[in-house]
Amino acid sequence: MEYMVFIMSFSMSIGLSIGFYLGILFKGELLYSTLLAILISGFIGFLVSLRFHLYTALEGMFSGLMASMMGAMITEMLNAQQAHSILFISLLLTITITMSCMIQFLSESFSAVIQRRFPLLLSIGVVIILTIFVTFPEHIPPTSSTEEQHKH
* Domain boundaries along the sequence of the chain: 2-138
For 118, other C-beta atoms within 10 Å of its C-beta total: 12
Reading the chain (152 residues) residue by residue, the pLDDT tens digits are 677 888 888 899 999 999 998 998 888 888 999 999 999 999 998 998 888 888 888 888 999 999 999 999 999 998 888 888 888 888 888 888 888 877 777 777 777 777 777 778 778 877 877 776 777 666 666 666 555 555 65
CA–CA dist 90, 71 (Å, integer) = 9
Would you state the torsion angle of the CA atoms of residues 136, 32, 71, 103, taken in this order, to the nearest 10 degrees? -70
Are the CB atoms for 22 and 74 separated by under 8 Å?
A: no
**pLDDT value at residue 18:** 92
Are the CB atoms for 95 and 102 separated by under 8 Å?
A: no
Cα–Cα distances (Å) from 36 to 8, 21, 23, 65, 118, in that order, read 20, 11, 10, 10, 38
The overall longest dimension of the chain from CA atoms, in Å, is 74
* Alpha helices (runs of H) in the chain, residue ranges in sequence order: 2-25, 30-49, 54-77, 80-109, 111-135, 145-149
**Span 33-46, pLDDT tens digits:** 999 999 999 999 89
**Span 16-27, pLDDT tens digits:** 999 998 998 888
**pLDDT value at residue 70:** 93
Task: Report the first-to-last Cα separation within the chain, whole angstroms.
Answer: 67
**pLDDT value at residue 37:** 93
**pLDDT value at residue 118:** 74
**pLDDT value at residue 137:** 62
